[in-house]
Amino acid sequence: MAKEKDKISKSQASEYTAKDITVLEGLEPVRKRPGMYIGNTASEGLHHMIWEVVDNAIDEAMAGYCKNIVVRLLPNRMISVTDDGRGIPVDIHKKAKKSALELVMTKLHAGGKFGDSGYKVSGGLHGVGVSVVNALSKYTKAEVKRDGKLWIQEYERGKPLKKVAPKGSAKGTGTTITFQADPEIFTVLDFNLETVHDHLRQQAYLTKGVKISAIDERDPKLVTSYNFYFEGGIASYVKHLNNHVEPKNENIFYVDKEEADTRVEIALQYSNEYNENIFAFANNILNAEGGTHLIGFRTALTRSLNNYARKQGYLKEKDENLSGEDSREGLTAVVSIKVVNPQFEGQTKAKLGNAEVKPIVDAITYDALNTWLEEHPRDGEAIIGKCVLAQKARIAAHAARETVLRKGAFEGLTLPGKLADCSTRDASRSELYIVEGDSAGGSAKQGRNREFQAILPLRGKILNVERARLDKMLANNELKSLVIALGTNIGEQFEIEKLRYDRIIIMTDADVDGAHIRTLLLTMFYRYFPEIIRQGHLYIAQPPLYSIKKGKEVTWLYSDTDLEDYKKKNKILEQDLIITEETETDETENATAETAESKQPEKSAKLNIQRYKGLGEMNPEQLWETTMDPASRIMKKVTVDDATKADEIFDILMGSEVAPRKQFIHSHAKSVKNLDI
């Protein structure tokens, strides 16, 4: 048997030869595996095309050659990005024997960011930016103003249509890249103006003194223009991020200093909130996973605050030092560095790895913050007061959490009594329904599949965790039951691997109270269990609003829009419908039906429509069929596409400040249809 296996392996080896090795030339690798270069071919990857071109213009701005950047959304799903920088070189490259412009547009790892003469600081150091955009575009045009001439080259799916050639004279210098995303590559082709605005605004904050404009020309009859320019840089960014909260320190701490070819720019401000918002950037690229610059900042922040608190007597000799967690509660900060040779982890550049950056950021932050605290004693007192209060709450929360865990240990890790658990112990198959109210919980418990579906009913509205610390949260019986049911623990002891259910499903009534409870639960998950959301475990159930009975046939409709579509499709008039609430008595329904029927024309549809305001109004069979059966149910998966925007919305809706919430309601009130109070 061993000899037979050996023969097979040798035979297979002899069949695998040099002819089986594929060599992809030029930009072919990009078109073959676009996800490796832009993340995906959906909306995120589509917008990443704009960011790649804008990054080149930002690099010119950071080098001091560009003051204006214009992004245009054009008809036919085309985008153009114009800058007034030096313009991509157009002269013949000695080694490649072709124009430098064509080289940059058609070759990977070709650009001015690898040698010493192009850019001292740059974001696009992988050198794949504009060539990747060209490769993944149906059509691209590069226009360069240099040497008093306008140079142009056009491309089709990355391949030049003609050689680089001048086309008339031109004043000034700069580059314009126009592209149309390839429908053969992308599953989404429409650009979102708000997404574009958010990114350009962020880049303008990070590159102070540069004007970035976004012009929407997709509808020639309705052209809109937005300009982003911030002289205050990231200090203005922090002010923007804290727009909806009450600040603790009136003056924003800001430092901008260069050391050993590394420029460090930091701004911070505390608020009355409990969460921290720190955004770290290296060469204008957001490092979602932080890195050495963030470590240096956090270390210096905690050390500096402890030093000041001891010096001013806010912390006595017997008191323990503030922890990193204490020093960052309610903190909003932006850490932006410019480094000559950044070492990013992966093409997505999510984390900075330069070891030499940490001590530089640490030293600059520590020295500048010490000086600032001395110069702003009132702000210093407010910040330390906030941190000391956070320390006391942390100690109390630790004790509360220990009580929860200790109680669970004494009871043999007993799950909450109200939890109707599933029989399977395979977490990958199981799901937990968080249900509003005991009546809905009763229907759900009877209608579920006991093998893999668990039910946890909640009584009334849970605590708003946006306005409460962890110790108060764990004192709430409803939330305590939920934490124990999840099995992950909470806070710094959270472990996603111990999650007892693969799907956590929020199931609330289709009314205002249900929406409020759903928002409270989403706030709790976003603040204390973000990893559950990030790993795709949180869902929102979609119970039906209406059932339409026609004879023995029942049709379920999940929204008012579905009802309107049903009426149009079946040519049903308003007077043909009998709409009743589930809670109405049979006598009322019959009387209504008789009255309505007497008014019907002979060809009336005679449809009885039932509206369900609450889950408890459905019997177990109906709830299973419409909302819980995996074969027929509809669920929404909860994701956080833009953490900054999500955090801002949670602050507005659930925070302590009333004015921003009132403004939000006024702004969006008209867009709400069929509000059921």
**Of the listed 102, 436, 576, 647, which one is catalytic?**
436
Query: Catalytic residue at 421?
Result: no
3-class secondary-structure state, position 58: helix
Write out the H or E segment, with its range, that includes residue 227.
strand 224-228
Q: Which residues are annotated as a binding site for Mg(2+)?
A: 436, 509, 511
Query: Which residues, at least 6 apart from 629, have a Cβ–Cβ distance to it below 8 Å?
Result: none
Largest CA distance in the chain: 92
Rounded to 10 degrees, the C-alpha dihedral 574/578/583/585 comes to 150
- Give 485-493 contacts, CB < 8 A, sequence gap 24+: 485/415, 485/416, 485/419, 485/432, 485/454, 485/456, 486/432, 486/529, 486/532, 488/529, 488/532, 489/401, 489/405, 490/401, 490/528, 490/529, 491/397, 491/401, 491/528, 492/325, 493/401
Please state, in angstroms and rounded to a whole number, the distance separating the CA atoms of residues 356 and 361: 9
Tell me how crowded residue 354 is: count the other CB atoms within 10 A of its CB. 19
Please state, in angstroms and rounded to a whole number, the distance separating the CA atoms of residues 135 and 106: 8
**Helix intervals (H) in 274-376:** 292-312, 324-328, 357-375
**Of the listed 265, 466, 478, 509, which one is catalytic?**
509
Query: Catalytic residue at 513?
Result: yes
Judge contact between 74 and 177, C-beta under 8 A. no
Report which of 431, 588, 449 is spatially closest to residue 504, judged by C-alpha positions.
431
Judge contact between 140 and 52, C-beta under 8 A. no
Query: Catalytic residue at 436?
Result: yes
Write out the H or E segment, with its range, that includes residue 181.
strand 174-181
Tell me which residue has tokens 């002979």. Answer: 602
Q: How many CA atoms lie within 13 A of 39 on its CB side?
A: 13
Write out the H or E segment, with its range, that includes residue 277.
strand 277-282
Please state, in angstroms and rounded to a whole number, the distance separating the CA atoms of residues 294 and 365: 11
Please state, in angstroms and rounded to a whole number, the distance separating the CA atoms of residues 349 and 200: 18
Judge contact between 387 and 381, C-beta under 8 A. no
3-class secondary-structure state, position 600: coil
Query: Which residues, at least 6 apart from 570, have a Cβ–Cβ distance to it below 8 Å?
Result: 605
Numbers of helices and strands, H then E, in the chain: 22, 25
Query: Per this entry, what is the length of the chain?
Result: 677
Tell me which residue has tokens 């909306």. Answer: 43
3-class secondary-structure state, position 194: helix
Q: Which residues are annotated as a binding site?
A: 436, 509, 511
Q: Per the structure block, which two tokens stand in for 564?
A: 């309107």
E strand map for 492-606: 503-507, 538-541, 546-550, 553-557, 577-581
Tell me how crowded residue 351 is: count the other CB atoms within 10 A of its CB. 18
**Of the listed 256, 511, 562, 657, which one is catalytic?**
511
**Of the listed 289, 513, 582, 642, which one is catalytic?**
513
Report which of 447, 314, 476, 310 is spatially closest to residue 385, judged by C-alpha positions.
314
Report which of 19, 644, 650, 671 is spatially closest to residue 277, judged by C-alpha positions.
644
Q: Per the structure block, which two tokens stand in for 452?
A: 């893999």
Please state, in angstroms and rounded to a whole number, the distance separating the CA atoms of residues 507 and 514: 9
Q: Identify the DSSP state of 218.
A: S
**Which amino acids are annotated catalytic?**
436, 509, 511, 513
